[in-house]
Chains A and B, each alone.
Chain A
Amino acid sequence: MKKRWFVFMALVLAAVAVGLVACKPKPKFECTDPKGCVEIKPGEPIRVAAALVYSGGAASYGIDSKRGIEIAIDDLGGELLGHPIELVAEDTQCNPEGGQAVAQKLAADKTIVGVIGTTCSSAAKNAAPILSEAGIVMISPSNTAPYLTDPATRAPFYFRTAHNDKVQGKVAAEFAYNELGVRKAATIHDGSVYAEQLAAVFAEVFQQLGGEVVSQEAINVGDTDMRPVLTTIAAKGPDIIYFPIFNPEGPLIAAQSKEVEGLEDVKLMGADGLFSKEFIEVAGEAAVGVYLSSPDFTAFNPERYEEFIKKHEEKYGEKPISAFHAHAYDAMMMLAEAIKKAAVVMEDGTIYIPRTALRDAVAATKDFQGVTGNLTCDANGDCADPHIAVYQITSATEWDTTDPNKSPVKVWPK
């Protein structure tokens, strides 16, 4: 009895083994990557997520960046290694909860190869660790908070093509102190990791230069009545108010500051979070005279940027609406380049993309000729070629970032 059972089991095992050998594809790919591999069969798309902001006050940033990605995909011919590229749009909103929700959704989707996003640093703060845990490469076109690439807090699969705010805050402080000649500054942030850190960098550099920071205030995202906080600031008598926040809170500060006693002549300065057409739409005439720092468009690769603008106008019927379209273009191109390097192509057209290898390929990006300049990723995931300029708004109706002499006018560096 026992013997017969043994023979039966042996037969079953043999049958299974024969079956396995018969079904096995001739050259088999074995995935040894610790984070797994994405398998893309012939005809299947390479799925890349555009996890940006599509609603709320920062929506123009997300839309602007998404257009950059779409132009990049057009330039790639819509395909990569014989597979079409599919862009999956997910709205992360401009807050940690939105970033977390989208990251969890994407992490659960095994077909996602990489993520371009997020728009806001606060969304990335939660999204980056989740995506890194899942082994999904994330390249942000517009996160600027130092936190994200700080060696102590950086998520290993996180990269960005936007500048680090250590650069932007410094330029802003130097411009205020040296060019505007102001000595007393007040800062306002909105509790987001971007605004809080940028305001802190500005304050630190401004003090190092010899200036005095008389007031460091904060508002909440969604606040509309800025008069009380502006009255508080007016009591300290600053020469400049630096508010590196977002729309629509930023323009509300600009508009309401005109009506607060003691702030009639104060200089107003924001950062790239406000650098979009929506600023003048909400602030109206109060926008005229406001300084905003942003990537320096004249420092981009001039021919390629011109070509990009042309394609943009053809495709969308307008000029770029915000500041991070070219960074998004570069992010997509960088990712495509890394996918080409990391992917294993089989005879039948199936490709395997080992996740860690893809990450390493992105990290190894060196002297990449992008629209925004010469991109090289450092050990912490900062890949940008950062050039910051200060712009001044001179018109309440016109918004043209492609010509440095039209509003917003480039005023620094000269």
Chain B
Amino acid sequence: MLERLRYRLRYISGTDIALWIVAALLLTMIVVGSYNILTEGRYTGRQWLDFVISGLAQGSIYALIALGYTMVYGILFMINFAHGEVFMSGPFTAYFLAEYLKQKGMFQSHPLLALLLVMLLSMLVSTVIAVSLERLAYRPLRGAPRLVPLITAIGASFFLQYTFRGLYTPGFKAYPEVEPLKGTWVFFPNSLHLEIERMLIAVFVSSVLLLILLYAFVQFTKTGRAIRAVAEDQQAAALMGVDVDHTISVTFAVGGAAAGAAGVFYALMFRQVNYFMGFFPGLKAFTAAVLGGIGNLPGAMLGGLFLGVFESVGPSLFLEGLGVPAAYQLKDAIAFTMLVLFLIFRPTGILGERLAKRA
């Protein structure tokens, strides 16, 4: 025991020490800030709960997008930076269906059925885009060094953005409102009187259901087993009779479908779509995937939710406590600082990069 400690101590460099000091400082800031704000009692418990709930809804969307990043990484060891555009393509296309249904009055008479149709179209478009992306842009480069598909992905991201900008005009479009999801639901009306927006609950619950469904798909179906086998060892899987190309296509399809669904949730929650809408959520979802441990399915879900809540609570909790004015503006800085810290101190993420058992 002691022997090992001494061994490790000998290999600690100056950089390590500096990094640990930075981490300690940041942690102290978080603790001091939180302590200040909590003792000051500026926010009621109810308000903290509001922060957490909106964070969870936002986080579940991150989680759905992060799934696509993590599954593709698990199987190909590449970051598909065009995934944000896969996320954008579905809801942007489905907007036109939504608008048509709204004009035909279907959004008013059968809102949930209309929503389902919009959702299906969005998932279909995102799936098609994701699969063709793999087939046209990534498969020809499969044997190439790792940097090559990464740069291709960034190129594909721009290509898709500007294609959709050309197709559907550069302005943003407003999604129709869904009547049954407007307003709030009250929980425990007698004791707690918890009033929560219906939209947030709907987004959170359906995202979590989808996540569970996807997890079950990967864990308990034959195709899912093939995905895991290819992720573990492509060549061995091929020798065992797994069709590697097909499996990779399926992986992209599943990630695309999840992104398409996330896109509709996003469009409903914020009522707007445009060609650039995938950029920031894409980056955040990538952050979430790394936080949870890239290549790890439950990790992506956990990372997404964690990031959503952290972003929502963080500015008020510790930045305001430190006296930072207009703290909310720094929420992206919080998210990306966290990404950097995780990359330095725990590159394998919260749950660890369980490459072999993952996906």
A interface residues with partner B (beta carbon < 8 Å): 54-57, 59-60, 189, 191, 216-220, 222-225, 227-229, 231-232, 234-235, 247-248, 252, 255, 259-261, 278, 281-282, 284-285
Minimum C-beta distance from B309 to chain A (A): 10
Query: Does any Cβ of A come within 8 Å of B16's Cβ?
Result: no
Chain B residue nearest to A227 (CB atoms) is: B54
Residues of chain B within 8 A (CB-CB) of A284 are: 174, 177, 271
A234 vs B47: C-alpha distance when bound (angstroms): 9
Query: Does any Cβ of A come within 8 Å of B70's Cβ?
Result: no
A56 touches B46 (CB 8 A): no
Contact of A55 among B165, B195, B270, B316 (CB under 8 A): B165
Query: Does any Cβ of A come within 8 Å of B171's Cβ?
Result: yes
Stretch from B22-30, B123-131, B328-336, B337-345 that touches the partner:
B328-336
Query: Does any Cβ of A come within 8 Å of B96's Cβ?
Result: no
B interface residues with partner A (beta carbon < 8 Å): 42-44, 46-47, 50-51, 54-55, 58, 165, 170-172, 174, 177, 184, 195, 197, 266, 269-272, 274, 276, 280, 311-313, 315-316, 320, 325-329, 331-332
B195 touches A281 (CB 8 A): no
- 7 closest residue pairs by CB, A with B: A55-B170, A218-B326, A227-B54, A218-B329, A229-B328, A281-B174, A224-B270
Minimum C-beta distance from B313 to chain A (A): 8
A260 touches B50 (CB 8 A): yes
A57 vs B47: C-alpha distance when bound (angstroms): 30
A278 vs B273: C-alpha distance when bound (angstroms): 12
A216 touches B58 (CB 8 A): no
Minimum C-beta distance from B54 to chain A (A): 4
B171 touches A55 (CB 8 A): yes
Residues of chain A within 8 A (CB-CB) of B272 are: 224, 248, 252, 282
Residues of chain B within 8 A (CB-CB) of A260 are: 50
B328 touches A54 (CB 8 A): no
B171 touches A252 (CB 8 A): no
Contact of B170 among A54, A228, A231 (CB under 8 A): A54
Contact of B328 among A228, A259, A261, A278 (CB under 8 A): A228
Residue pairs across A and B with Cβ atoms less than 8 A apart, 29 shown, are A55-B170, A56-B170, A57-B172, A59-B171, A217-B329, A218-B328, A220-B331, A222-B280, A224-B272, A225-B54, A225-B58, A227-B312, A228-B316, A228-B328, A228-B331, A229-B315, A231-B43, A231-B50, A232-B315, A234-B47, A235-B43, A248-B270, A252-B272, A260-B50, A261-B46, A261-B195, A278-B172, A281-B174, A284-B174
Minimum C-beta distance from B1 to chain A (A): 46
- Other CB < 8 Å A-B pairs besides A56-B171, A284-B271, 4 of them? A218-B328, A222-B280, A228-B311, A232-B320
Residues of chain A within 8 A (CB-CB) of B46 are: 261
Minimum C-beta distance from B166 to chain A (A): 11
A232 touches B270 (CB 8 A): no
Chain A residue nearest to B58 (CB atoms) is: A225
Say yes or no: A235-B42 contact (C-beta < 8 A), given A55-B171, A216-B326, A228-B55: yes
Residues of chain A within 8 A (CB-CB) of B326 are: 189, 216-218
Say yes or no: A227-B50 contact (C-beta < 8 A), given A56-B171, A252-B270: yes
Contact of A228 among B42, B51, B177, B269 (CB under 8 A): B51
Chain A residue nearest to B55 (CB atoms) is: A228
Residues of chain B within 8 A (CB-CB) of A261 are: 46-47, 50, 195
